[in-house]
């Protein structure tokens, strides 16, 4: 049990609006061991993003529990969730979500600012992580001056700057061409292999998932349809 | 998040939207400018009055009236007696005997009757009707009178007079110095008893041939006094002053106002008032008590001053309220700007929350932005208020100087007003930032990050 950092049990999420009730996740139970590279697949609307947002502490479940590295995030207050997002987990998205007015270095340093790190230290650490993802020469560029692949690398650097042990990626290649997609997934696989980072990646591309990931989770209509172990 | 980062971030964010920031801060600038000039005007007036009270020794002054002075109440409500007559005290006539008694009291420095003679002042072929005030030589050389040229008369007997610089301007004289040593004619009214012979009596009493005549007295101008900027029931206030000796020799009526006659008791009129100067304000209360015990009414300007202070408090509040309207409008501008900013930065807020900003961090980001607007607006607002007041002060003084009113600084800018204006501006901006900040903190990151 010691090396089961992500433990999801009976997780449900229901979105209720004035007119409709959407059960985005229904009674999902799942466990992922430390250092795994898991790929979450499924049709559009099957609940993949919902699952990742709950894991990332961006949203709270309707019922069920989530435990990440011993911390029950399903029971955290808003304040605790902010702390968890700050350093317990890193997230990247299909649309990169960089702040347009900030350059690469400033975007990467942003989580450190909320952590109260001094400016000089922030710059040093952000520079290091950018170098790690292969963008050492692009630190002064704004997002608009970077290619899609480069933007996603900046986003990865930002997700990792506070040294979380878990990285959540919601369709990180959805906006990229196939060659760049491969580069990004390769980078994630390297981080997983070299640093023992636990990576959960949502993707449409079954072939990429099978090539790089060790575990596969298929969602359908908010339920786990299949679990596979590839390596 | 560090305070320093908050400040840096808010300046960076505001700088990105320069025009809007400037316009919003400009709104605050106008509001604070209005408030600052309003308050500084109120304070300036208050300071002027306080200072003129102090410099004219008015805190040391008492005015004594005869008990029947209340007859004047209907016509001059400002001169209400300050306290009721103690029971047992009998009414006294305000004559030379009473004056001597008051002069002998402990702490009394100078006593002189309030005598004003209706007269025509003639100079340069022009006539001006004035109440000529009789004041002793000693008083003319005290702090109660200030000279723009010349000085007070040396004795109570010399044929001299002092004229105010505003009357001087009425006579068309610009240079007070040139006037010293020139002669001026005072034409006073006196009884003409020859008209009261029995043959004419019926006509005289019927009003057809009044038993009055005028007499001219020629006096030398020895001093030009500065006019008082502020009118009020102060003891020395006239355009022409003459010594008591001259007054005695002059033909004149023993009253300056028909209502004075109602004071007469068995033909004894007495003075309408006696001015008392004390050696220190500490003697105000004891002397008031003594004089009241003599059956006289006594009135201290210091008491009046308390009323004046109350009046100024109200004036200041009214002026501040006018300034507040502008502030309220400006703060609505801040609310509007900040709410717009939230809508524009919706996804940015989502990103910040996704990477670990707490609700408090987000709230503070917005609080800092609105307070920076407030700070900028406060600094420029104070500067604006100061500049505008300066211009108004100059313009007003320029026009009033033409009418003989001496220079007055109408506005006062104490240090606390500068600091207070800025602090207040920041406080108002923070208050205006409450709603936007709360709203920003409540942004749902999941919704904010949904790209489609
Ligand atoms: N905020 C929301 N309100 C209502 N319904 C939502 C909301 N977010 C997601 N949904 C619904 O929940 C389901 C799962 O969505 P999502 O997890 O985004 O799917 P996926 O990422 O697999 O495409 C969808 O049917 C979607 O319409
Ligand atoms: Mg999705």
Closest partner residue to A91 among B348, B354, B357, by Cβ?
A: B354
Contact B56, B225 (CB under 8 A): no
B451 at A interface, C-beta within 8 A: yes
Same domain, B197 and B106: yes
How far is the CA of A125 from the CAs of A112, A130, B122, in angstroms? Answer: 9, 9, 93
The set of protein residues with a Cβ atom below 6 angstroms from ligand 1 is A 15, 17, 22, 24, 42, 44-50
Q: Which of B248, B273, B300 is the last residue of a domain?
A: B300
Same domain, B276 and B335: no
Report how many domains make up chain B.
2
Closest partner residue to A95 among B1, B355, B451, by Cβ?
A: B451
Same domain, B404 and B436: yes
Please give the pLDDT value at position B170.
Answer: 83
3-state secondary structure string across chain B = CCHHHHHHHHHHHHHHCHHHHHHHHHHHHHHHHHHHHHHHHHHHHHHHHHHHHHHCCHHHEEEEEEHHHHHHHHCCHHHCCCCCCCCCCCCCCCCHHHHHHHHCCCCEEEEEECEEEEEEEEECCEEEEEEEEECCHHHHCCCCCCEEEECCCCCCCCCEEEEEHHHHHHCCCCCHHHHCCCEEEEEEEEECHHHHCHHHHHHHHCCCCCCEEEEEEEEEEEEEECCCCCCCCCCCCCCEEECHHHHHHCCCCCCCCHHHHHHCECCECCCCCEEEEECCHHHHHHHHHHHHHCCEEEEEHHHHHHHHHHHHHHHHHHHHHHHHHHHHHHHHHHHHHHHHHHHHCHHHHHHHHHCCCCHHHHHHHHHHHHHHHHHHHHHHHHHHHHHHHHHHHHHHHHHHHHCCCCCCCCCCCCHHHHHHHHHHHHHHHHHHHHHHHHHHHCCCHHHHHCCC
CA of B26 to the centre of ligand 2 (A): 45
Same domain, B85 and B191: yes
> What is the extent of the structural domain holding B139?
60-300
- If contacts are CB pairs under 8 Å, which of residues 68-127 in chain A contact chain B? 78-79, 82-83, 85-87, 91, 93-95, 97-99, 101, 110-111, 113-116, 118-119
Same domain, B336 and B403: yes
Residues of chain B found within 8 Å of residue A94, distances taken between Cβ atoms: 451
Report CB contact under 8 Å: A78, B16.
Answer: no
Same domain, B209 and B343: no
Same domain, B126 and B265: yes
Please give the pLDDT value at position B308.
Answer: 80
ipTM: 0.95
Same domain, B7 and B70: no
Report CB contact under 8 Å: B355, A85.
Answer: yes
Q: Which residue, judged by its Cα, is nearest atom 3 of ligand 1?
A: A15
Report CB contact under 8 Å: A78, B358.
Answer: yes
Same domain, B23 and B171: no
Residues of chain A found within 8 Å of residue B359, distances taken between Cβ atoms: 78-79, 82
The packing angle between helices B415-441 and B359-402, to 10°, is 150
Q: Which of B300, B327, B348 is the last residue of a domain?
A: B300
Ordered per-residue pLDDT tens for chain B, 452 residues: 899 999 999 999 999 999 999 999 999 999 999 999 988 988 888 888 888 777 777 788 888 887 654 444 434 445 444 445 455 445 667 888 888 889 899 989 888 888 888 889 988 888 888 888 888 888 888 777 888 888 888 888 889 999 988 888 888 888 888 888 889 999 888 877 776 676 666 766 676 667 778 888 999 999 988 876 555 556 777 889 999 888 888 888 777 677 667 666 666 677 878 888 888 888 988 998 888 888 888 888 788 778 888 888 888 888 888 888 889 999 999 999 999 999 999 999 999 999 999 999 999 999 999 999 999 999 999 999 999 999 999 999 898 888 767 788 889 888 999 999 999 999 999 999 999 999 999 999 999 998 65
What are the pLDDT digits (tens) for A1-15? 446 689 999 999 999
Q: Give the chain A residue nearest B364 (alpha carbons).
A: A114
Domains of chain A, start order = 6-97+164-229 (3.40.50.300)
Contact A29, A13 (CB under 8 A): no
From first CA to last CA, the distance across chain B in angstroms is 31
Q: What is the mean pLDDT of chain A?
A: 94
Q: Which of B278, B300, B322 is the last residue of a domain?
A: B300
Interface size between A and B, measured as CB pairs under 8 A: 72
| pTM summary value | 0.73
A158 at B interface, C-beta within 8 A: yes
CA of A201 to the centre of ligand 2 (A): 11
Same domain, B167 and B191: yes
Same domain, B106 and B126: yes
- If contacts are CB pairs under 8 Å, which of residues 350-409 in chain B contact chain A? 350-361
Same domain, B65 and B195: yes
């Amino acid at each position: 049990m010691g090396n089961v950092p992500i433990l999801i049990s009976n997780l449900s999420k229901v979105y209720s609006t004035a007119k409709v009730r959407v059960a985005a996740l229904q009674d999902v139970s799942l466990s992922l061991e430390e250092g795994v590279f898991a790929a979450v697949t499924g049709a559009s609307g099957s609940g993949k993003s919902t699952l990742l947002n709950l894991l990332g502490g961006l949203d709270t479940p309707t019922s069920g529990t989530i435990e990440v590295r011993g911390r029950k995030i399903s029971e955290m207050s808003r304040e605790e969730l902010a702390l968890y997002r700050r350093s317990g987990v890193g997230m990247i998205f299909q649309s990169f979500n960089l702040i347009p007015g900030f350059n690469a270095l400033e975007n990467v340093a942003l989580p450190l600012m909320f952590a109260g790190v001094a400016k000089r230290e922030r710059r040093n650490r952000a520079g290091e992580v950018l170098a790690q993802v292969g963008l050492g020469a692009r630190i002064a560029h704004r997002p608009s001056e970077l290619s899609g692949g480069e933007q996603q690398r900046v986003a990865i650097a930002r997700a990792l700057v506070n040294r979380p042990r878990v990285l959540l990626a919601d369709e990180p290649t959805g906006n990229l061409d196939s060659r760049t997609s491969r580069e990004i997934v390769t980078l994630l696989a390297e981080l997983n292999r070299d640093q023992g980072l636990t990576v959960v990646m949502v993707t449409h591309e079954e072939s990429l998932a099978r090539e790089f990931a060790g575990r596969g989770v298929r969602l359908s209509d908010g339920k786990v349809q299949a679990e596979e172990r590839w390596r | 998040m560090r305070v320093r980062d908050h400040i840096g971030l808010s300046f960076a964010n505001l700088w990105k939207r320069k025009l809007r920031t400037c316009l919003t801060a400009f709104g605050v600038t106008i509001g604070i400018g209005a408030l600052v000039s309003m308050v500084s005007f109120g304070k300036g007036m208050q300071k002027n009055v306080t200072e003129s009270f102090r410099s004219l020794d008015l805190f040391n002054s008492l005015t004594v009236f005869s008990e029947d002075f209340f007859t004047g109440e209907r016509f001059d409500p400002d001169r209400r007696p300050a306290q009721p007559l103690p029971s047992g005290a009998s009414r006294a006539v305000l004559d030379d005997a009473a004056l001597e008694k008051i002069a002998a009291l402990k702490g009394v420095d100078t006593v002189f009757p309030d005598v004003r003679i209706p007269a025509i002042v003639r100079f340069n072929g022009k006539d001006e009707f004035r109440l000529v005030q009789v004041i002793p030589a000693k008083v003319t050389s005290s702090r109660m009178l200030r000279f723009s040229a010349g000085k007070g008369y040396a004795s109570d007997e010399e044929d001299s007079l002092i004229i105010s610089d505003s009357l001087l301007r009425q006579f068309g004289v610009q240079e007070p110095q040139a006037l010293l040593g020139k002669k001026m004619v005072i034409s006073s009214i006196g009884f003409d008893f020859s008209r009261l012979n029995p043959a004419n009596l019926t006509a005289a009493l019927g009003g057809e041939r009044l038993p009055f005549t005028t007499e001219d007295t020629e006096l030398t101008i020895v001093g030009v006094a500065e006019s008082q900027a502020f009118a009020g029931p102060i003891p020395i206030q006239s355009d022409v002053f003459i010594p008591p000796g001259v007054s005695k020799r002059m033909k004149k009526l023993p009253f300056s106002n028909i209502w004075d006659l109602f004071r007469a008791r068995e033909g004894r009129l007495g003075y309408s008032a006696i001015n008392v100067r004390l050696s220190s304000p500490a003697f105000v209360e004891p002397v008031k008590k003594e004089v009241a015990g003599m059956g006289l009414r006594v009135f201290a300007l210091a008491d009046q001053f308390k009323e004046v202070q109350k009046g100024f408090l109200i004036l200041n509040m009214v002026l501040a309220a006018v300034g507040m309207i502008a502030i309220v409008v400006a703060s609505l501008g801040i609310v509007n700007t900040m709410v717009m900013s939230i809508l524009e930065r919706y996804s940015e807020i989502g990103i910040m929350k996704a990477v670990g900003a707490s609700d408090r961090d987000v709230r503070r980001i917005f609080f800092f932005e609105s307070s920076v607007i407030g700070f900028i607006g406060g600094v420029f607002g104070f500067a604006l208020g100061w500049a505008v007041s300066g211009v108004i002060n100059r313009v007003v003084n320029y026009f009033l100087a033409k009418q003989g009113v001496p220079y007055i600084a109408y506005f006062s800018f104490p240090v606390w007003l500068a600091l207070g204006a800025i602090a207040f501006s920041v406080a108002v901006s923070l208050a205006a930032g409450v709603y936007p900040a709360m709203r920003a903190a409540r942004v749902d990151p999941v919704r904010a990050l949904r790209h489609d």
